[in-house]
Chain A
Amino acid sequence: MRIPCPCCGSRDRREFTYYGASVFLDRPAEDAGLEAWDAYLHLRDNPAGVTRDLWYHDPCQSWIEVERDTVTHAILSTAPVARRRA
Chain B
Amino acid sequence: MMIISIVGIGIISTVLAVLLRQLQKPELALLVSLATGIIIFSMILDKLKYVIDVLNSLVAKTNVEFAYFSVIIKIIGIAYIAEFGAQISKDAGEEAIASKIELGAKVIMMVLALPILLALMDLITKILP
Mutual binders A and B: no
Residues of chain B having any CB pair with chain A under 8 Å: none
User: Chain A residues in contact with chain B, CB under 8 A?
Assistant: none
